[in-house]
């Protein structure tokens, strides 16, 4: 299995400059950055979350495309976006940017795209009423621009080279989860990079659906990727104790879908029809209400969003996904949400150990 790493894209840049050389020593296959404007932590609670020791503002995200140019001066590995959306960036903008970065970044560029999440759209005046339809329109144009250099109709075209020597063309990875998104992934994607939690068996079933749509469109099967959010601990059992001691970390459970809350006998604050990551804007919720809610969220709900435990425990979970087709894991390390810097330092070797485990799958 190949292993990519999600970089710490928050201001200041020193965090990346400190971590990337370590990731290079670990032998990462690629580096990735999310395209968020708002993050997953309420700014009024941030100071009370141990991870805040790494930065003053949980929403201080760099623009990932501009950030990628800087990263490209520090490594010869590929760099990807995981992921942007088609509401803020239309096909022509995405195509020009992808072709530019594919040329400027020594290892090449991977364009990750999805239908978007409310948190980075509606607070800034972007529509979020038909995100999948907007993505489909974008992908039709994007695929045409990257494959032929021209829009499907009219004079719109790209003058930049569509392929770079030794790199080919920039691949498009799609964050598809629902039925329609899986179809779009197969029809237009070069890779699949889901981020929501699902069982290994569900992953395999969905990837099979992606492959069937790719075959029907006359395209090769997309690379089977995934974006696992990992929190390393001495053990999952010890992590449960730490979350009980520092319950604000349990607010990650808010990003599980309402149907999962319902299955656990609970009611999601946004209702059990909530789509979790897609529609939760934690900034819209009252900070005091969140403080009261956090201790009531069971640790098992956190495990519906994060892979938690030591390298062997997380590796065992991901082994099931490998048996169901996973071939490229893009790891995001959230260690320190509980335990802070002490836990980050204590678990420093877990990340490379997990990478070693995954390479054997």
Work out the widest C-alpha separation in the chain, in whole angstroms.
Answer: 61
Residue 83, preceding peptide bond in cis (omega within 30° of 0)? yes
49: helix, strand or coil: coil
Q: How far apart are CA 170 and CA 188, in angstroms?
A: 13
The one-digit pLDDT tens for each residue of the chain (361 residues) are 999 999 999 999 999 999 999 999 999 999 999 999 999 999 999 999 999 998 999 999 999 999 999 999 999 999 999 999 999 999 999 999 999 999 999 999 999 999 999 999 999 999 999 999 999 999 999 999 999 999 999 999 999 999 999 999 999 999 999 999 999 999 999 999 999 889 999 999 999 999 999 999 999 999 999 999 999 999 999 999 999 999 999 999 999 999 999 988 889 989 999 999 999 999 999 999 999 999 999 999 999 999 999 999 999 999 999 999 999 999 999 999 999 999 999 999 999 999 999 999 9
Q: Which of 109, 105, 127 is nearest to 118 (CA)?
A: 127
pLDDT at res. 249: 97
Place of tokens 């899986």: 182
Q: Pairing relation of β-strands 191-192 and 223-226?
A: parallel
Q: Choose among 43, 27, 100: nearest CA to 66.
A: 100
Angle subtended at Cα 250 by Cα 354 and Cα 289, rounded to the nearest 5 degrees? 160
Q: In order of start, what are the domains of the chain with their CATH numbers?
A: 2-221+322-333 (3.20.20.30)
What dihedral do alpha carbons 285, 291, 292, 293 form, nearest 10°? 60
pLDDT at position 264 = 86
Beta-strand ranges (E) seen in the chain are 2-6, 30-33, 79-81, 84-85, 109-114, 172-174, 191-192, 223-226, 229-232, 307-309, 328-333
Give the whole-angstrom CA distance, residue 304 versus residue 261: 10
| Nearest of 333, 281, 338, 304 to residue 42 by alpha carbon | 281
The model carries a pTM of: 0.97
Residues in the chain: 361
């Amino acid at each position: 299995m190949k292993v990519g790493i999600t970089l710490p894209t928050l201001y200041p840049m020193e965090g990346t400059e400190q971590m990337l050389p370590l990731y290079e020593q670990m032998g990462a296959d690629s580096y990735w950055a999310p395209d968020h404007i708002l993050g997953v932590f309420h700014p009024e609670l941030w100071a009370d979350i141990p991870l805040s020791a790494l930065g003053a503002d949980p929403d201080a995200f760099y623009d990932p495309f501009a950030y990628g140019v800087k990263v490209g001066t520090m490594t010869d590995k590929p760099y990807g976006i995981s992921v942007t959306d088609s509401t803020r960036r239309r096909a022509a903008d995405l195509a020009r940017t992808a072709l530019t970065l594919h040329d400027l970044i020594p290892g090449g560029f991977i364009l990750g795209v999805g239908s978007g999440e409310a948190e980075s759209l509606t607070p800034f005046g972007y529509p979020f009423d038909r995100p999948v339809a907007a993505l489909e329109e974008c992908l039709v144009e994007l695929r045409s621009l990257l494959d032929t250099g021209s829009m499907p109709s009219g004079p719109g075209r790209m003058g930049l080279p569509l392929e770079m020597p030794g790199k080919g063309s920039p691949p498009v990875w799609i964050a598809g989860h629902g039925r329609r998104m899986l179809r779009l992934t197969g029809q237009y994607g070069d890779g699949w990079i889901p981020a929501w939690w699902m069982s290994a068996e569900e992953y395999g079933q969905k990837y099979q659906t992606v492959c069937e749509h790719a075959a029907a469109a006359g395209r090769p099967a997309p690379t089977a990727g995934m974006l696992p959010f990992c929190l390393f601990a001495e053990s999952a059992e010890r992590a449960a104790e730490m979350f009980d001691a520092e319950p604000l970390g349990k607010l990650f459970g808010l990003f599980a879908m309402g149907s999962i809350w319902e299955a656990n006998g609970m009611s999601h604050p946004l209702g059990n029809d909530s789509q979790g990551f897609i529609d939760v804007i934690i900034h819209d919720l009252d900070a005091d209400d969140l403080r009261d809610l956090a201790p009531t969220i069971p640790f098992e709900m956190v495990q519906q969003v994060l892979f938690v435990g030591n390298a062997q425990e997380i590796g065992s979970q991901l082994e099931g996904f490998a048996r169901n087709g996973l071939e490229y894991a893009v790891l995001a390390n959230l260690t320190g949400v509980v335990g802070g810097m002490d836990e980050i330092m204590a678990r420093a070797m877990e990340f490379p150990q997990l990478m070693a485990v995954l390479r054997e799958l």
